[in-house]
Amino acid sequence: MPLTTSALGAPPSAVSAAYARLNEVFPGLRVIEVPAGEALPEGAGWVRTEQLAEGGAALDAFLAWDNAQILKDYGTHARPDVIASFGLHRYAWPACLLITIPWFLHRRVPRFPSSGVAFQRTLGRLAVHVTEFACLPGDPAAGRPGARVVPDEEALRAEVRAAVAEHLQPVLTGFGPRMRRGPRALWGMATDEIVEGLWYLGHLLGDERRAMTDLEALLPGSTKPYVGKAAFRELTGPDGESLPTRDRASCCMFYTLRPEDTCVTCPRTCDADRIAKLTATTAA
């Protein structure tokens, strides 16, 4: 179903400004708010999150795209579990931003059950129904329909963790059998998607250090079902510069395609290689 005029022109919600700012600094991702009562888009590459969670034909089609993209990008076929891992990453990374960006920018935490989101990844579009959100006392949006006021910052962080878990739990259930990973590994991957998505957007927003501080408080390492913590640490570059890095809680499986080229945050990557990669990126 093509997007209707009203879907493109939905009244601003309490999180609309955050999504507009997200698109400004990261044009590859746009959030479309669909008014209550209107259906989420279908067809033309759109898939609803609840369809991915079912683990059936919609997920087969979703992963077929990843299979083709891996062959195009790397000139080799990937194992089925690697394809599924890439597919989950390509969904979960932007989906987590639906929740973490409004929290980071405005201290507002929306809730999105799997029935309330649709994804068009070739266009970089997420269509959502915004129905409720949590906020702090004194927030100008506290009186808006769907607002739930929580007492303090820690309570709001708990809302972030709960909102992401509510959204991703069905998705992990759908992807899990394809990935051949247990619950701990899957929630480790969810932890990484939360951290690395907001960390990257914090950099684009010119507020990387605050993003890191917020993430360390959000994921201190004792917040089930998440596995591990934000795990930031500092390295020192050749000119004495500080180089932030972190250690992933899960493996993205990229090494199965390029064994000689591990990710900069992979535990397999030694600090010397991390410094070389980070300083090369900075120079570029």
Lowest mean pLDDT among 32-36, 99-103, 132-136, 178-182: 178-182
Output the furthest CA–CA distance in the chain (Å, rounded): 57
Question: In this model, does residue 263 exceed pLDDT 50?
Answer: yes
Question: In this model, does residue 1 exceed pLDDT 60?
Answer: no
What's residue 264's pLDDT? 87
DSSP labels, 152-188: SHHHHHHHHHHHHHHHHHHHHHHHHHHHT--HHHHHH
What's residue 2's pLDDT? 31
Question: In this model, does residue 261 exceed pLDDT 60?
Answer: yes
Give the pairing type, strands 133-135 and 147-149.
Answer: parallel
Task: Answer yes or no: are the C-beta atoms of 59 and 47 closer than 8 Å.
Answer: no
Question: In this model, does residue 9 exceed pLDDT 60?
Answer: no
Handedness of CA 95, 96, 102, 108 (dihedral sign): positive
Question: In this model, does residue 19 exceed pLDDT 90?
Answer: yes
Task: Answer yes or no: are the C-beta atoms of 235 and 275 closer than 8 Å.
Answer: yes
Strands (E), 34-115: 47-48, 108-110
Task: Answer yes or no: are the C-beta atoms of 186 and 172 closer than 8 Å.
Answer: yes
Tell me which H or E stretch contains 273: helix 271-283
What's residue 90's pLDDT? 94
- Summarised one tens digit per residue, pLDDT across range 208-248 is 999 999 999 999 998 999 998 999 999 998 988 889 999 88
Count helices and strands (H / E) in the chain: 9, 9
Question: In this model, does residue 141 exceed pLDDT 50?
Answer: yes
* Percent residues over pLDDT 70 in the chain: 95
Residue with tokens 């619950």: 183
Amino acid letter, 270: C
- Summarised one tens digit per residue, pLDDT across range 161-203 is 999 999 999 999 999 999 988 899 999 999 999 999 999 999 9
Closest CA to 159 of 182, 189, 139: 139
Question: Which pair of structure tokens corresponds to residue 224?
Answer: 């089930």
Interatomic CA distance for residues 87 and 73, integer angstroms: 14
- Summarised one tens digit per residue, pLDDT across range 20-72 is 999 999 999 999 999 988 999 998 899 999 999 999 999 999 999 999 999 99
What's residue 106's pLDDT? 98
pTM attached to this predicted model: 0.92
